[in-house]
Amino acid sequence: MDAPGVRLVRRLRWMGCEDHVAPIGELVFENVRVPAENLLGAEGEGFKVAQVRLGPARIHHCMRSIGLCELLIELMMARAAERSAFGRTVIQYDTVQRWIAEARVELEQARLLAYRCAWRLDQAGHHGAWRDVSLIKVAVPAMLQKIADRAMQVFGAMGGSDDTPIHQALAWGRLLRIGDGPDEVHLRQIFRMEPMPDWSIANSPYLAAHPA
Ligand SMILES: Cc1cc2nc3c(=O)[nH]c(=O)nc-3n(C[C@H](O)[C@H](O)[C@H](O)COP(=O)(O)OP(=O)(O)OC[C@H]3O[C@@H](n4cnc5c(N)ncnc54)[C@H](O)[C@@H]3O)c2cc1C
């Protein structure tokens, strides 16, 4: 940031939130020259370095989101058990029980996917784990958004207040569908890695096993 030509035009907030740890803003780069000794890798390989760094960063975001979903489930349980509406506690309503159970199903699926991704990254490095990183990058933020949305519904008006972190979880889930690369870019990557069968529909293994 000290290099001549780098200018901060203005600080920005995202969905009304200010990130004090990793602030964002509009930056201008005018004829910026960076001394050779500041190079982090070989010249011309910046994109590659960024991609390698992004793999673990994406898993890290997913891990934090999974932890956040655990908290959201705990919050839903506690609030629904305490709060009464129309003569019974909220936790006694089938709908609420179902939301919490579905959240648990989705969370455990996502956790296993994240474990497998981390294992692949350890075993096979960045290139071997590329597809797994994209899989969790798409799956986890969508899950977080869904669970946060349900949690807000369980809490009623209180869910949008600063007395809970639910609205921040919702915004974080929404951000992560764009951050770390938009979902659509990862979905394209996943589609491209889907193998094309070496048979046609007319000669499919199914028809061969079930002749007319
Ligand atoms: C607060 C904040 C923090 C962020 N932090 C990070 C970070 O730490 N690391 C990181 O990697 N990213 C981060 N991002 C995301 C990054 O800055 C970009 O926003 C993101 O890569 C998308 O680029 P863009 O905003 O220019 O959208 P655009 O490139 O203009 O894309 C807009 C939309 O077009 C569609 N689209 C674009 N490309 C394709 C494609 N190839 N195929 C199909 N559809 C496509 C998608 O729907 C996409 O949402 C952050 C974003 C925000 C808001």
Probe target for ligand 1 pocket from 175, 176, 178, with the most ligand atoms within 8 Å of CB: 178
| Mean pLDDT to the nearest integer, 106-125 | 96
User: What's at 56, amino acid-wise?
Assistant: P
121 vs 59: CA distance, rounded Å: 10
Quick check: 129 and 78 in contact, CB under 8 A? no
Domains, the chain, in order of start with CATH, read: 6-32 (no CATH), 50-192 (1.20.140.10)
109 vs 69: CA distance, rounded Å: 12
For 29-53, write each residue's pLDDT tens digit: 999 998 889 888 888 998 888 888 8
H/E segment holding residue 10: strand 6-12
Is residue 93 left, alpha or beta, with left meaning phi > 0 and alpha meaning psi from -120 to 50? beta
Residue 55 clears pLDDT 90, i.e. is over it: no
Ligand 1 atom with the shortest distance to the CA of 188:
42
H/E segment holding residue 8: strand 6-12
- In sequence order, the 6+-apart residues with CB closer than 8 A to the CB of 155 are 75, 76, 79, 164, 166
Q: How much distance in Å is there from the Cα of 195 to the middle of ligand 1?
A: 27
Q: What is the pTM of this model?
A: 0.90
Residue 106 clears pLDDT 90, i.e. is over it: yes
Quick check: 79 and 155 in contact, CB under 8 A? yes
Percentage, residues of the chain above pLDDT 70: 100
For 132-188, write each residue's pLDDT tens digit: 999 999 999 999 999 999 999 999 999 999 999 999 999 999 999 999 999 999 999
Three-class SS of residue 14?
Answer: strand
Return mean pLDDT, the chain: 94
174 vs 101: CA distance, rounded Å: 22
Which tokens in the block code for residue 164?
Answer: 């809970």
Burial class (CB in 10 A: 0-12, 13-18, 19+), 200: exposed
Least confident of 45-54, 119-128, 196-205: 45-54
Distance of CA 134 to the CA centre of its chain: 10
DSSP 17: B
Residue with CA closest to ligand 1 atom 6: 179
